Amino acid sequence: MDKIVIEGGRPLRGKIKVSGSKNAALPILAATLLTKGKSEIRNLPGLADVHTMGKLLKDLGLKIQLWGSKMKVHANGYQRHIAAYELVKTMRASVLVLGPLVARLGKAKVSLPGGCAIGARPIQLHLKGLEAMGAKIKVEHGYVEAEAKRLHGATIHFDTVTVTGTENLMMAATLAEGTTVLENAAREPEITDLANFLNAMGAKVRGAGTSTITIEGVEQLQGGTYSVMPDRIEAGTFLIAACLPGSQVLLQGIPYEYVEALSLKLQDCGAKVEVKKDGIQLSAPKKLKPVDISTAPYPGFATDLQAQFMALMTVAEGTSVIRENIFENRFMHVGELIRMGAEIQLEGNSAVIRGVKALSGAPIMATDLRASASLVIAGLAAQGITEINRVYHIDRGYEKIEKKFRKLGARVKRVKVRY
Ligand code: EPZ
């Protein structure tokens, strides 16, 4: 297992190109199951989760070629419909093969993803939607089995906004008989990216990006070629880090609308945000002001940026309150930040952060993907050396994070830990 070692206190200056979006790439790769044809997916980020999804497709019988940021998928007549626990347990997003498998093969057996560090992560809304479309669902021995001769259209209302739930049912509906309407659907840009790929394959998806999505089922889909959108969470992570004293960073290849909610909050903190022709430039404030946030589904403040924003607030000049409304246990980073000298109090789903003059570097432990990013920002802000263990968490969602920060002048290195 590697660790990341950071010598904090240096300003970040320079340009960073944003990688392809993990949370758009994963459903788009799963969508290649919907066709017999050949697909080519480009601008893929070099992440553990993308490799895992490739392994899962291969395990199902598809021909995969991955080189650099491109993956060629040939779904020629695969028959296997089982997504095994060994692969699913390493990546919850494997649940995204459920909808496509039922739609294409009429059956699917997918290991239940189980919980993770940030919460129980149930998938009952996915299953309820598939049942409404005529699938027979059985949950036993840690697997969900779904069967349907052919799915039929339905109107499905989500009690809770769910990103992968919306994606699973949107994909399933593309091959269903008749029309499906998804109400209270997630509006994340990754949903729109998936819909664009599905339509490039010949699907008829309308309304993606709004809370009502209409899908008219078709007989079959052909393979498509598609370039994945940029990663707004990686971009947001760098924008937050660029608020550290003396920093100025230009993020290339990210449209402002994808990081608008965050940018408005960072401007409230005193940062200067400028939309340039090739990206977004953030200049750090002289005085970092405390700002309250409350996470919400898109276009609200992204839960995936909450931990990173909290790291920044630990050194703001005053007290801020962060409310986490999406997941029940997404404060795993708090204990580690406190070990670095942060003053944080938890009250239910709220955290009260009293800014301190400076954090002090310490050996700390990553617990989940975005908590790890929060600890990197804390390490960059801290005085002294910070060692972050279990960085495999961070490799799931950030491509070469230490190289990108080093390019901005940070003193960050990855060290192999031999046990
Ligand atoms: C997606 O997870 C993202 N993952 C998450 O990013 C992100 O944090 C989350 O959306 C919220 O934006 C991918 O896109 C691969 P949800 P997802 O279903 O779809 C509850 C990262 O760091 N819920 O929108 O699993 C659920 O428990 C990851 O990149 C049900 O109760 O999240 C949660 O409280 C972490 N029943 C809320 O809804 C269901 O059937 C939102 O979850 C489904 C969800």
The per-residue pLDDT for 418 is 77
The per-residue pLDDT for 278 is 85
Mean predicted lDDT score pLDDT of the chain: 96
Q: Backbone dihedral region of 43: left (phi > 0), alpha (psi from -120 to 50 degrees) or beta?
A: left
Q: Is 303 near ligand 1, meaning CB less than 6 Å away? A: yes
Q: Which atom of ligand 1 is nearest to the CA of 123?
A: 40
How distant is the alpha carbon of residue 324 from its chain centre? 16
Q: Please check the confidence at residue 419 and state whether its pLDDT lies above 80.
A: no
- Determine the residue type at 298: Y
- Rounded CA-CA distance 116/127 in Å is 19
Strand ranges inside 98-162, DSSP E: 107-111, 136-140, 143-147, 155-157
Q: Which atom of ligand 1 is nearest to the CA of 127?
A: 40
Q: Which atom of ligand 1 is nearest to the CA of 121?
A: 27
Q: Which residue has the higher pLDDT, 116 or 203?
A: 203
The per-residue pLDDT for 256 is 96
- In this structure, the residue with its CA closest to atom 38 of ligand 1 is 162
- In this structure, the residue with its CA closest to atom 28 of ligand 1 is 304
Q: Please check the confidence at residue 209 and state whether its pLDDT lies above 90.
A: yes
Please identify which of the residues 48, 82, 105, 116 carries the catalytic annotation.
Answer: 116
- Quick one: pLDDT band at residue 391, thresholds 50, 70, 90? confident
Q: Span 163-187, mean pLDDT?
A: 98
Q: Is 55 near ligand 1, meaning CB less than 6 Å away? A: no
Residues 6 or more apart from 277 whose CB is under 8 A from it? none
- In this structure, the residue with its CA closest to atom 39 of ligand 1 is 123
Distances (CA, A) of 159 to 170, 212, 357: 16, 13, 43
Interior/surface letters 355-378, b for 16+ CB within 10 angstroms, e for the rest = bbeebebbebbbbbbbbbbbbbbb
Q: Is 244 near ligand 1, meaning CB less than 6 Å away? A: no
- Rounded CA-CA distance 53/93 in Å is 8
- Rounded CA-CA distance 13/21 in Å is 23
- Cα angle 168, 172, 88 (rounded to 5 degrees) comes to 45
According to DSSP, the β-strands at 363-365 and 385-389 are: parallel
Question: How many Å lie between the centroid of ligand 1 and the Cα of residue 1?
Answer: 27
Q: Please check the confidence at residue 115 and state whether its pLDDT lies above 90.
A: no
Count the neighbouring beta carbons within 10 Å of the beta carbon of residue 140: 8
Q: Span 156-167, mean pLDDT?
A: 98
Q: Span 3-17, mean pLDDT?
A: 97
**Domains identified in the chain and CATH numbers:** 2-19+230-416 (3.65.10.10), 22-227 (3.65.10.10)
- Rounded CA-CA distance 266/272 in Å is 8
Instruction: Establish whether the linkage from the previous residue to 290 is cis, with ω within 30° of 0.
Output: no
Nearest Cα residue to 340 out of 399, 385, 393: 385
The per-residue pLDDT for 340 is 97
- Rounded CA-CA distance 170/151 in Å is 12
Task: Please name every residue paired with 4 in a beta bridge, in sequence order, or none if there are none.
Answer: 388, 414
Q: What percent of the chain has pLDDT over 90?
A: 90
DSSP single-letter state for residue 302: -
The per-residue pLDDT for 76 is 85
Nearest Cα residue to 325 out of 343, 302, 344: 302
Pocket test residue of 53, 160, 401 for ligand 1, highest count of atoms within 8 A of CB: 160
The per-residue pLDDT for 87 is 86
pLDDT tens for residues 60-94? 999 999 999 999 999 988 889 999 888 888 899 99
pLDDT tens for residues 224-252? 999 999 999 999 999 999 999 999 999 99
pTM of this prediction?
0.97
pLDDT tens for residues 318-355? 999 999 999 999 999 999 999 999 999 999 999 999 99
Q: Is 95 near ligand 1, meaning CB less than 6 Å away? A: no
Q: Span 218-229, mean pLDDT?
A: 97
Question: How many Å lie between the centroid of ligand 1 and the Cα of residue 107?
Answer: 24
SS3 category, 65: strand
- Rounded CA-CA distance 53/227 in Å is 17
Give just the sign of the alpha carbon dihedral 138, 139, 141, 143: positive
Sequence length of the chain is 419
Q: Is 160 near ligand 1, meaning CB less than 6 Å away? A: yes
pLDDT tens for residues 269-303? 999 999 998 899 999 999 999 999 999 999 999 99
273 neighbors 263 (Cβ within 8 angstroms): yes
Q: Please check the confidence at residue 117 and state whether its pLDDT lies above 90.
A: no
Active site residue 269: no
